[in-house]
Each structure stands twice: as C-alpha cells, then as structure tokens.
Amino acid sequence: MREVHHFIGGRHVTGTSGRFGDIYNPNTGEVQARVALATEGELDAAVANAADAFPAWSVMNPQRRARVMFEFKRLLEANINELAELLSSEHGKVVADSKGDVQRGIDVVEFACGIPHLQKGEYTEGAGPGIDVYSMRQPLGVVAGITP
C-alpha cells in the first residue's frame, strides 16, 4: 500500500508517529493509500527548517524569488497529467475536470510570480509641507496553513 510521508527541508521524511490517515478511492470506497500523521516533533522540525531558510529567502531580491516560483510553475506544467490523475483518484472527479483544477492552481502560481511588483511599496512626494511619505513591504517571517 502506498504511504504518503512528510517533506521537510527539501527531502522526504518518514513519519514516526505510527499513526496514519486513510486515503479512500471515492469510486470504490477502498483504501488506496495512507498518509502519515505528524508528531509534534515533526511539526516543530518543519517550522524550524522554514525559520532557518527565512533569513536567506528574505534578503533574496524579488527577481530571484520570482525565478523560484517560475520553476515551480514549470514543474507543475510538466507534471499536469500525473497531478490530474492523482487528484482524480483521491476526489472521484473525471481526469479532465481534475486537469482543469490543476490548471487553476498553475494560474495562481503564475499570479504569485508577479508578486514582486506588489512588494515595491509606495512613495509620495509632498504629502504635506516639507513631508515625503514612503512605505516598504518586508517579509515578516514563517507562517503556516492547513489546506486541503
């Protein structure tokens, strides 16, 4: 049976909790894979890894960050059929519908590739007598999200 483990620090990490969640095939109701449930230590390791990566990422110029996102987009596009098959097997959609969902995800990544322009901040000369105003956008730190 296929097992899905964690991805921490750029590598696959086998879960150590011994606990798994079943991934069902919605067409048959059968368990088709298991996903490892993380321990508190594994979660802490993922957060610590992200925190360790933050200083270098936060000082990387926006063009280089955008290149990382463009490479992510390229990988998604190169694997769109495999991703659509995987999505279909887990959600019971026909592959064509799943391919459309993956494409919408790619569209979001493409939008994120343009984010550096939104990070520019603003400058207003002469906001008042002898007053110029500016704003800077800077990364705040590590965040997490629990997503489907």
Per-residue model confidence (pLDDT) at position 146: 67
- Continuous segment of H or E residues that includes residue 23: strand 20-24
Which neighbouring-strand residues pair with 35? 4, 21
Q: Which two tokens stand for residue 45?
A: 């390791």
Per-residue model confidence (pLDDT) at position 141: 82
Cα–Cα distance, 55 to 48 (Å, whole number): 12
Domain annotation covers residue 42? yes
Count: domains in the chain: 1
Domain annotation covers residue 116? no
Per-residue model confidence (pLDDT) at position 136: 82
Domain that holds residue 42: 1-59
Domain annotation covers residue 40? yes
**pLDDT in single tens digits along all 148 residues of the chain:** 899 999 999 899 999 999 999 999 888 899 999 999 999 999 999 999 999 999 998 888 888 988 999 999 999 999 999 999 999 988 889 999 999 999 999 999 999 888 777 777 888 999 889 999 988 877 778 877 666 5
Per-residue model confidence (pLDDT) at position 147: 62
